[in-house]
């Protein structure tokens, strides 16, 4: 039986991404790189977040960047890299992106 990708020891393909709102980093996250939305060709997690933000912030320009693609790694390793990227952002900019404020504690 295949493990759910949320299990820390599950192996899969992930990506680390960031969402930008008017050119400013809004969120850094991890997405399942195997779940792609056909209409946009991007990982479903990113697609959903962009759709929600675009509806909420109609006049803002919402974009995404895939920072790294991780092939055949565990969920916990992907989470560690996500946290490392967030920590680097925090150390450089002195703030936590708005979209990470609830979940990231430096």
pLDDT of residue 1: 47
Look up residue 104 and give its two tokens: 């990231």
The pLDDT confidence band at residue 9, using thresholds 50, 70 and 90, is confident
User: Can you list the positions of beta strands (E) in 22-77?
Assistant: 24-32, 36-37, 42-43, 62-74
Select the more confidently predicted residue: 25 or 4. Answer: 25
pLDDT single digits (tens) 84-98? 999 999 999 999 999
The mean pLDDT of the chain is: 93
Look up residue 46 and give its two tokens: 């990113």
Tell me the percentage of the chain whose pLDDT exceeds 90.
87
With beta carbons less than 8 A apart as the criterion, state whether 81 and 70 touch.
yes
With beta carbons less than 8 A apart as the criterion, state whether 67 and 17 touch.
yes
In the chain, domain spans? 11-100
Contact residues for 49 (Cβ-Cβ < 8 A; gap 6+):
19, 27, 29, 99
pTM: 0.91
Select the more confidently predicted residue: 41 or 4. Answer: 41
């Amino acid at each position: 039986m295949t493990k759910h990708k949320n299990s820390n020891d599950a192996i899969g393909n992930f990506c680390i991404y960031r969402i930008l709102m008017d050119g400013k980093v809004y969120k850094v996250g991890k997405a399942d790189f195997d779940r792609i939305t056909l209409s946009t060709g991007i990982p479903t997690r990113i697609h959903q977040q962009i759709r929600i933000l675009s509806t909420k912030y109609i006049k803002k320009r919402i974009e995404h960047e895939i920072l790294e693609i991780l092939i055949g790694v565990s969920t916990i390793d992907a989470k560690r890299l996500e946290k490392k990227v967030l920590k680097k952002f925090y150390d450089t900019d002195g703030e936590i992106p708005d979209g990470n404020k609830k979940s990231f504690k430096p």
